[in-house]
Chain A
Amino acid sequence: MNKLKLNPSSITFLAILVCLPLAYELFINFHIGGIELFKEFVISAFNPKINNEIIFTLVKRLNETFLIAFSSWLISIIFGIFFGILSSEIFYKILNLPIFLRSFLNLFLTFIRSIHELIWGLILMQIYGINFSIGIIAICLPFIAINAKVFSEQIENINHKTIESIKQINGTKSSTLLTLVWAPILKTYKNYGLYRLECAIRSTAVLGLFGVGGIGTSIFLCFQTLNFRELWTYLWGLAFLIIISKELLKKFNLSKTSEKFLTYFIIALFCISLFSLYFFVYFIFNKNAIPFNSINNFLISNFSLISYDFLKLLLETIVLCLLSTGITISFPPICILIFNNKIGIKIIRSISFLFRLIPPPVLILILLMFNDPSISLAAITLGLHNAAITSKLLLVNLHNQDNKQYIAMKSLGVSKRSSWLLGSFVKQANSYLAYCAYRSDIIIRETAILGVIGSVGLGWQLQESLSSFAWEEVIIILFAYSSIAIIGELINGKIKSNLA
């Protein structure tokens, strides 16, 4: 028998194996006790609450949400590019700096990435109090780190021969660097950066805003009191916002703009980045930090938490991450493979849009109507939510690539599905897997807000410690989160180098 050869495409499909234990557990726990509530939820989707008052609030909240999302998106892209360049190998090669600085920076960025923006918000709040800007900073921090990773990975893909040739021209180091990274950054921005705005909007929606409200608070409160009709009013409003902002940005095509406008744009961008940098510095040094004595507590606290229970929670979290990453990786290509026709793709598009729109906590509550709480349930919730996101990227990339090979295959008489697999998907498999790799970072973060309701993993402990203001425990848990992320990163790197 031939040995199964591991390559990006086969790994993508192998990941479906996680469904076996998952399906088993979900199956034995299945019940239909919550069918009534589910019905109510679905019907409300088509019958959202609409009156003057709620529309007024909705518009106000959407406004706030968009402002925050837009500004944090812009800041996180600008600084993401900046840190992306700083954490790419080229930077150190061209400037002749020691490479260990890079690993140090990467470790730091992984740490920032692995903590959920909600937790960042709460931590920052401990130091700076209720402040509108905390909302922006809390979203920006992990987003900058994520963007930095995406950009640096694309920059790493520059052919080293091109690097040599530009280096050979012997311009100043800064112009060499800029010339080299420009094209991949622009390309990544087009393929990925615009889509991040949607993420920022969704994230703002989950976060709620510190001291202002925003649509996140509304969604959270409606969900909490199970006011499904209102919930859907806000969710549809959010969907509207996402679609509108996407259309708006699509119109804005950097390569076709006039000179004058481009100069304006660059100046505006420059001002904003300068301004936000100034603001960050001002914020950190000028706003009197409120005495935060738990650091002292931390030093004298006994590490009683590192016990059997803690290890169990840690293990649960890791399993949860692995299972949901498996779903995230394998669901989209399999769904597209099975329903590979125009209508099928459309249906996948709209379903994935819904799964992206509905925040994971709402999703898990709905799923709990049919199942008992378990790791599998939490995994499938996270998995579906993230698969909706990866499927969007996969579909967009498939759409953008030229399908010569697909047509060539089909003309050979190969069936539609096989030719899609061999002609279209194989070319995307590599970048798709790379994207899923950092999606797994986000999954780790998201277990923090999902663990509670399903009572699994570290998320449960984190919320409990947070609400007891036991900061020393919180710190330990956050370190556990980032160590999971760092280990994940190392494994990712190993797999990647093995594939290459």
Chain B
Amino acid sequence: MNNKFFNFKKILLTSAIFFSSLYLPLNANSKVLRIGAIPDQNQEVLDKRFNLFSKELSKSLDVKVKYIPVINYVAAVTGFRTNDLDLVWFGGLSGVQARLQTPNSIVIAQRDIDKEFKSIFIVNKKLKLGPISNKNELKKLKNLRFTFGSENSTSGRLMPEYFLNDAGIKIKDFKGKKAGFSGSHDATIALVNGGAYDAGALNKQVWENNLKNNPKRTNNLNLFWITPDYVDYHWVAQGNLDNRFRKGFTKELKSTILNLDIKNIEHKKILDMFNAKKFIEAESSDYKYIEEIARKLKKIR
């Protein structure tokens, strides 16, 4: 009889032990540089990208680096505020939100492509709306069902909404007096392509990726408008890293990221994962107008 339940007993015991070891707070060791990122990519991409990046940082800075996955934008911003993440790859909006909530935080770098980031508007083919050149023509989207991507996405929500407002369209002007949130750029493509929504807005990069790799998914779509440039993703670090690790640590960190070189094979792997040629300097002032827009749209209060 006892033998039959031996397994269960064992499982119970091991789980109890595991359990207690897991309860130890994750941040017990303050000498570990914890990096995080907003979850806007596939799991595989995220894991690979940030594990490679961690390894490189660890090598050149000689500290332990740990990638801590977070479940959504809100969690990423909060994790940064609560000091559980030291260095986070934020989007434009989430970065601004995080920096406002976390005094002394520092903008470290952005990618070359983040300086001139673009969103696009797409429409379903059955509407027979051709591409427009002037943003005022966005008015044609009135009374259609419209979807953004994720609520906190800069390219999938904030900037598109800003340009819509600029053209005189409020969210209330869409069908149902509301816009949908598909949750992601890919979902926006799928939903507009399928016809559940008439139009949507998303990251231009994702759109181009889909055109290349998944032409089937974009069959029923027309490109409607490409937005002007704006700044997006950036690395943000805590302000107390020098105290925690050593003098000048933040500087070293910054130069390590900026010196990632596409000619170096190891570095190229990382940069490829980020879809970038290199990282460039960024200032918090670059993101001032993102903050203004976010305040106008009540994403920052």
Contacts and interface: CB of A to CB of B under 8 A. Distances in A.
A touching B, CB within 8 angstroms: yes
Interface of A: 31, 33-34, 36-37, 40, 53-54, 57, 67, 70-71, 121-122, 125-126, 128-133, 207-213, 216-218, 220-222, 224-227, 230, 248, 251-252, 256-258, 260-261, 264-265, 268, 271-272, 275, 279, 287, 290, 361, 365, 368-373, 452-455, 460, 463-464, 466-470
B19 A463 contact: no
Nearest to A122: B74
Contact of A252 (B8, B39, B71): B8
Interface stretch (B76-84, B223-231, B264-272, B282-290): B76-84
A208 B72 CA distance: 10
Contacts of A218: 43
B186 A225 contact: yes
Interface residues of B, number: 76
Interface string B193-228: 111110000000000000000001101100000000
Nearest to A34: B194
16 contacts: A54-B44, A57-B44, A67-B22, A121-B75, A125-B79, A210-B70, A217-B39, A217-B69, A224-B187, A225-B42, A251-B4, A361-B183, A453-B182, A467-B73, A469-B74, A469-B301
B299 A467 contact: yes
Contacts of B301: 468-470
A460 B178 contact: yes
A125 B187 contact: no
B43 to A, nearest CB: 4
Contacts of B7: 248
Contacts of B183: 224, 361, 365, 452-453
A130 B82 contact: yes
Contact of A67 (B1, B15, B42, B81): B15
A435 B97 CA distance: 43
B124 A33 contact: yes
A225 B75 contact: no
B23 A279 contact: yes
A369 B191 CA distance: 7
A213 B15 contact: no
A210 B72 CA distance: 10
B151 interface: yes
Contacts of A369: 190, 194, 196
A150 B298 CA distance: 42
B78 A125 contact: yes
A31 B12 CA distance: 51
A252 B11 CA distance: 12
A19 B100 CA distance: 48
B133 to A, nearest CB: 27
Contacts of A122: 74-75, 78
B97 to A, nearest CB: 7
The 5 lowest CB-CB distance pairs between A and B, nearest first, are A34-B194, A33-B195, A129-B82, A130-B84, A208-B71
A33 B152 CA distance: 28
B8 A251 contact: yes
B165 interface: no
Nearest to A472: B301
Contacts of A279: 23
A225 B84 contact: no
A37 B8 CA distance: 43
B129 interface: no
B199 to A, nearest CB: 13
Contacts of B41: 221, 225
A373 B180 contact: yes
A275 B79 CA distance: 27
Interface in B46-99: 46-47, 68-71, 73-75, 77-79, 81-85, 97
B28 to A, nearest CB: 11
B190 A365 contact: yes
Given A126-B78, A468-B300, A220 B194 contact: no
A419 B268 CA distance: 71
Nearest to A257: B5
B42 A221 contact: yes
Contacts of B298: 468, 470
B15 A70 contact: yes
B143 interface: no
A469 B101 contact: yes
Contacts of B4: 251
B185 to A, nearest CB: 8
Given A132-B22, A227-B42, A36 B74 contact: no
A279 to B, nearest CB: 6
B195 A224 contact: no
A57 B43 contact: yes
A208 B196 CA distance: 28
A210 B43 CA distance: 15
Contacts of B197: 372-373
Contacts of B190: 34, 37, 226, 365, 369
A453 B187 CA distance: 10
Given A211-B26, A252-B8, A468-B299, A125 B77 contact: no
B124 A211 contact: no
Nearest to B5: A261
B9 interface: yes
B154 interface: no
A133 B74 contact: no
A71 B182 contact: no
B215 to A, nearest CB: 11
Given A122-B74, A133-B23, A469-B77, A212 B1 contact: no
Interface string B29-49: 000000000011111101100
B25 interface: yes
A261 to B, nearest CB: 6
A222 B81 contact: no
A208 B81 CA distance: 20
B181 interface: yes
Contacts of B77: 469
B74 A467 contact: yes
